[in-house]
Amino acid sequence: MLAEDEHSLQYPDNVQIHEDIKGLIGRYYAAFDTCGGQDECAQCFAEDAVITAPNGVQIHGREAVRSLHQKSWASLSRRLHRPTKMFPFGNQSTEFVIIGTAEVWEKEGKYSKMNSASHFRCRRDAASGVMEIISLNIWVS
């Protein structure tokens, strides 16, 4: 689990962000950066969610998200995302961009740090009322 200061996200002062969005983003990054957190990570996504990875490959559905998370840890000893700033598309918007950095430590000893940007689209599940990610596009440099 991430320490509070490792994912302190700056929200704009002039735009209201729904608390459910803030909670979802916190859960997503904490789960994604936790080895064995594939179930928690997958629960952040809608059943019909789509992730577009930095290489352009698309992952469709919650189960594919779970599998992606699990496989991504095969070569990693640690991963840490540091989301720094959110750019929402308006007041109470469920669409926003988050910029920050991503650090990875491979089991073989290699370390990488990249700039990252992620475009999220979220919705509230009609049956459960839970806020979930329906689309996520990720870029790194």
Q: Rounded to an integer, what distance in angstroms lies between the CA atom of residue 127 and that of residue 4?
A: 31
Q: Does 13 score more than 80 pLDDT?
A: yes
Q: For 122-131, what is each residue's pLDDT tens digit? A: 999 999 999 9
The tens digit of pLDDT for each residue in 77-116 reads 999 999 999 999 999 999 999 999 999 999 999 999 999 9
pLDDT computed for residue 107 by the predictor: 97
- pLDDT confidence band for 2 (50 / 70 / 90): very low
Mean pLDDT of 45-56: 97
Domain ranges of the chain: 4-140
- Provide, rounded to the nearest whole percent, the portion of the chain with pLDDT above 90: 93
H-only helix segments in 34-88? 38-42, 62-72
Locate 52 and state its tokens: 């577009």
Query: Tokens at residue 101, please?
Result: 């950095």
Third-level CATH fold of 4-140? Nuclear Transport Factor 2; Chain: A, (3.10.450)
Cα gap 126→2, rounded to integer Å: 30
Q: At 7, is the pLDDT very low, low, confident or very high (cuts 50, 70, 90)?
A: low
Does this model's pTM top 0.85? My answer is yes
What pLDDT score does 8 carry? 76
pLDDT tens figures, 21-36: 999 999 999 999 999 9
